Chain A
Amino acid sequence: MDFWTVMVARFPYFMSLLLKGAVMTVTVAVGALALALVLGLLIALFRMSPSRIVSGFAYVYTEFLRGTPALAQLFVIYFGLPDIGIELKPVEAAIIGLGINGSAYLSEVYRAGIQAIHRGQVEAALSLGMTPLGSMRDIVLPQAIRIMLPPITNFSITLLKDTALVSVVAVPEIMFYARNLVTETFQSMHVYLLAAAIYLAMTIPMSRLVAYLERTRRAWS
């Protein structure tokens, strides 16, 4: 049978399952992004702490997590943690694994954004009697966010693509359904091309958004 006959005949069936997977893909990506945003900020603040122990910990944390593959981290969390009595469901392991992996990356983004704000801003805030925490929250971060938005969106694209990895810990997302469909129907080309198309439908608009954000940022400065 030729390519398009099969594609037309099987399209509704393939898509019904792959889109069900896409919902899970987005769920995992959003969950991991939320975790990475919070944890990443914490690590960034640790890294800039005057205490050498605290900043040293943050340094080792980011270097080690950025220096090892997300897949290895996922395997440690999903297959390794039960050894020490922590059993996680696949989705939990996926969100925690990708979230921790992302926090190391985002902490560097936060740090670069915060350090790009002129020192005078903090000094002015402190001499006006603001607390260090208050000046970080009300003065530095709101300005830094503008700088950090494009790299954070870029990170979200990478994260969305990285969710394909969590199919190996049995999270029912796009690639998980795709693999099952191929085993069932042997139509590997159709299934994987459709899977690729679904990913592209999500990533290409996001990369347009990054391009737009970078353009507007250049217009400001």
Chain B
Amino acid sequence: MPRLLDIYRDNIRDWFPEMLSACLGTLKLSLFAFIVASALGLIVALLRISSRRSPRWLAISFIEVMRGTPALVILYIVYFVPPQVGLSWLTFSSFTAAVAGLALQGGAILAEVFRSGIEALHAGQREAALTLGMTPAKTMRYILLPQAMRVVLPPVGNYAIGLLKDTSVCALIAAPELMLRAKDLASSSFEPMAVFCLAALFYFFMSYPLSLAVRYMEYRLGRHG
């Protein structure tokens, strides 16, 4: 333990700014993936609750496949396969591939979250809106989604926390983020214990505030829900 402190005293000046800038990469990756996953999730959720069979089955297959496959496999397929089979227009940089891979899985997770939020609303809401002469699209946009958003906020927050941690996997396709920088620092300094513990601490300080925020939202919803 004292040795670990000595290592930090000697190296923290070099490591801290390096890791801090890598955290920006992690946050940027998380944010981009979150935005794309939300949009994708909403589309898939709407297909999933469609009354027609084919869009519904398309959505169900997408959700089952993306949720049942490890993020690492999806990332490898998105990043390594297109260049090897000659699809140059689908060949991404590691950052774009990371965003795409995480968003594909996230879209499936969020689709189920959005669906449960929409289905949790009382059927009378939809019936009343339709009776008043609103179109199904308007009913969804002005009546159902705004109410569902409130309910889904905590699970969406939980997904965001999971996503932030999952970006670490993108180090394995060399996307510029915290875990990749930590691996580099660990191999150049020969101090893996110190470096990886520090990296874990950085992740903790990014995810803990988020998890406190989610708990606060759950508490508020529980009281006024």
Contact = CB atoms under 8 A, between A and B. Distances in A.
Interface of A: 63-64, 66-73, 75-76, 79-81, 83-84, 157, 161-165, 167-168, 175, 178, 182, 186, 188-189, 192-193, 195-196, 199-200, 203-204, 207
Interface in B56-96: 64-65, 67-74, 76-77, 80-81, 84-85
Contacts of A192: 73, 76-77, 80-81
Given A67-B203, A71-B168, A196 B77 contact: yes
A182 B67 CA distance: 24
Contacts of B139: none
B73 A207 contact: no
Contacts of B193: 76, 79-81, 83-84
7 contacts: A69-B203, A71-B171, A72-B182, A75-B182, A80-B196, A161-B68, A161-B70
Interface stretch (B119-127, B140-148, B204-212): B204-212
Contacts of B203: 67-69, 72
A185 to B, nearest CB: 11
- Main DSSP-derived SS at the B contact region: helix
B211 A66 contact: yes
Interface of B: 64-65, 67-74, 76-77, 80-81, 84-85, 161, 165-166, 168-169, 171-172, 179, 182-183, 186, 191-194, 196-197, 199-201, 203-204, 207-208, 211
Contacts of A80: 192-194, 196-197
Given A63-B204, A72-B199, A207-B64, 18 more contacts: A67-B207, A72-B196, A72-B200, A75-B183, A79-B186, A79-B193, A83-B191, A83-B192, A84-B193, A163-B70, A164-B70, A165-B72, A175-B70, A188-B80, A192-B76, A192-B77, A200-B69, A207-B68
B167 to A, nearest CB: 8
Contacts of B67: 203, 207
Contact of A164 (B72, B77, B183): B72
Given A80-B197, A192-B76, A67 B204 contact: yes
Contacts, number: 127
B126 to A, nearest CB: 23
Contacts of B192: 75-76, 79-80, 83
B208 A182 contact: no
A71 B169 contact: yes
A81 B76 CA distance: 29
A188 B85 CA distance: 8
Contact of A199 (B70, B84, B200, B207): B70
Contacts of A165: 70, 72, 169
Given A69-B166, A192-B77, A204 B68 contact: yes
B81 to A, nearest CB: 5
B50 to A, nearest CB: 20
A157 B85 CA distance: 31
A199 B172 contact: no
Contacts of B84: 186, 188-189
A75 to B, nearest CB: 4
A188 B208 contact: no
Given A64-B204, A189-B85, A71 B197 contact: no
Contacts of A161: 68-71
A193 B77 contact: yes
A18 B172 CA distance: 20
A178 B194 CA distance: 31
B1 to A, nearest CB: 9
